[in-house]
Amino acid sequence: MISTHPFCDLSGDTLREECGVFGVIGTPDAAAVTALGLHALQHRGQEAAGIVSFDGAEFYAHRGLGHVAENFSSRETLAGLPGFMANGHVRYSTTGGAGLRNVQPLFADLASGGFSVAHNGNISNAAALRAELVARGSIFQSTSDTEVIIHLVATSRYPTPVDRLIDALRMIEGAFSLVVMTKDHMIACRDPLGIRPLVMGRLGEATVFASESVAFDVVGGSFEREVEPGELIVVDANGERQSLRPFQRQRPRPCIFEHVYFSRPDSVFAGRSVYEARRAIGAQLALEAPVDADLVVPVPDSGVPAAIGYAQSSGIPFELGIVRSHYVGRTFIQPSESARHSGVRRKHNANRALVAGKRIVLIDDSIVRGTTSLKIVEMMRDAGATEIHFRVASPPTAHSCYYGVDTPERSKLLAAQMQLEPMRAFIKADSLAFVSLDGLYRAVSGLPREPGAPRFCDACFSGDYPTTLTDLARQTQGDAQLSLPVGQAA
């Protein structure tokens, strides 16, 4: 059965983190360590990967479209990236679009020497800054917002590369977690609100940085601590570290969706095990939205920890009623329109013998456009499920993200267009419920959300954006909604 509806576009029916960053200084095989670290971060970006290395005299770079394994598996490639220091990047294309010229790390020869930057996040005044820079004579080689940082550093009048970087970052708004290389230092920096994650670890005598702690496990290193919001850490070739606080202190607002979906479950984020947070969200969801059913079934893989929590709290048995294929490629030649609509079934298949004749609770991490949810409900009905109760381990996603997450425009978000009952009817479930925003906060932090002073960035749920959105305001000038003060829903 193929459904047709204005929202039935299988492309873009998931929230995707824009990228992941990794860096290491102080080991003779820095590029190989970086490639391994990027493997652990592959879930954060699957369209392109790149590594830049430095051997004390020269910078070397290799970038390519596709997965890390497609670009950095050969000895010849890694041999072409010598050095004791390297930074790397995996990305999705949000700001700037796809294409090799936007693959990071971006590198430039500045007056002070080579400068390589790997950036996770999104600069929300990049277009305004770019226009000013171009008017002053800057020539851009990419369409990535990250290149704005390079041009701001290049045109800064401060004497040292570190001071020039600080000067540049003071001009930008939005979210940034950076791993930067100069000929003398590796520099890691996180925006004052700490929206995007960045952690520091050790590998022998080497210092390592990554978007997630799981990367340290994979390379054989150890987690030390988070790079704190607004902190800039400078590491020299001797391993000496310096911590700087160049920005005005603000109340941190790390992205709460890292707990819901983005981070790997074996990572630690904001001082909490991601797996334990997701299980707690499921338990909270069971308290808020109980139902009489026979089985709790996760939508794999992201729904599994929450489903375990829901099952444990409700007493309803947990079962793998959907089996996921891990061999569906990133790209797939689809010969017909009907094949295009079979995308969900290529990735997920109902465990018919288990679910036939059963009342099931389906647990997923989020609903974006709703098209995937609809297809999964239809698949479970075709497999013989008698009742399907859809439970979502996040509040309704009703607002777009401007901080480095690839969300559809708001007009394509199901929760921005429909209330709960029309959403339920659209996905054809017998019932539908989301965890409350307050319940999400209680699950991940143990405390309720404080009105007017939230501890996380939850703008995709609340519309409460923690920074100004200069480029958006310029694009929609005259829109009365954008005249609201920062912190109110646009």
Instruction: Give the angle 279-363-305 at the CA atoms, nearest 5°.
Output: 25
- Please provide residue 132's backbone torsions phi and psi, each rounded to the nearest 5 degrees: -65, -45
CA distance 281 to 303: 11
Give residues with Cβ within 8 angstroms of 354, minimum separation 6: 295, 319, 320, 321
Query: Looking at this protein, which amino acid is placed at residue 328?
Result: V
457 annotated active-site: no
* 398 touches 42 (CB < 8 A): no
Using CA atoms of 361, 367, 372, 373 in order, give the dihedral in degrees to the nearest 10: 30
Give the distance, in angstroms, between the CA of residue 23 and the centroid of all CA atoms in the same chain.
18
Angle between helices 146-155 and 161-169 (to 10 degrees): 120
Quote the tokens at residue 421: 């009952």
CA distance 242 to 234: 5
Catalytic residue of the set 8, 19, 401, 460: 19
For CA atoms 256, 442, 417, 263, the dihedral sign is positive
**Helices then strands (H, E): number in the chain?**
19, 23
* 19 touches 92 (CB < 8 A): yes
Place of tokens 């993200």: 401
Quote the tokens at residue 75: 């000895």
Strand-pairing partners, residue 393, are none
Count other Cβ atoms within 10 Å, centred on residue 330.
9
Strands 185-190, 174-181: pairing is antiparallel
Strand ranges, E, within 241-392: 241-244, 268-269, 272-273, 295-298, 322-324, 348-350, 359-364, 387-392
CA distance 415 to 370: 9
What positions carry a catalytic annotation?
19
